[in-house]
Amino acid sequence: MKGIDVKGWLKSLLFSLGIAMIIRAFLFSPYYVEGASMDPTLHDQEKIFVNKFEELDRGDIVIIKGQDKNYVKRLIGFPGDEIEMKNDQLFINGNRWDESYLSENRKAAEGLVNNLTGDFGPLIVPEHHYFVMGDNRLKSLDSRNGLGFIPEGQIIGVSKFVFYPFENIRVVD
């Protein structure tokens, strides 16, 4: 009977850990959602996977590296875009943008406020920057009110999957 190949097991374990660290550092990472700024799309304390290599599209849920913490927001404007909000309608480069992901929040806000999103703009997104907003417009710190335009280097990646709590596993968009 042969003994356990400890050296072989250690090599395999170290190799596996190295691969896991590379994947986490460069491809996919888990992040916590903190706060209510993305309700009802994402909820406080949910865990999401972030793809660090996915190309950005308008409407993506992105993770932004802040000074003290990370933020989860929806990508609205790209460099050079003209962004304007009038009568709760978003206009990008003069064209109305459908924000179907806000339908639940609009229903909840009926009778409480005139508009879910206050009027602003038109604003031009500077070169190498993005404009973001939370889905819970009444409770979101975003490009309109504190975060400002987001430098492209602060976008960590795109999230499309909630993996915890397990009863809430789902794809989000």
SS3 130: strand
Enumerate the active-site residues.
37, 73
The H-assigned helical ranges of the chain are: 6-26, 103-109
DSSP state at residue 33 = -
Using alpha carbons, list the distances in angstroms from residue 147 to 37, 46, 73, 92: 13, 22, 11, 19
Q: Please count the other Cβ atoms lying within 10 Å of the Cβ belonging to residue 134.
A: 26
Distance CA 27, CA 106 (A): 35
User: Residue 94 region, left (φ>0) first, then alpha (ψ -120 to 50), else beta?
Assistant: left
Radius of gyration of the chain (CA): 20
User: Residue 8 region, left (φ>0) first, then alpha (ψ -120 to 50), else beta?
Assistant: alpha
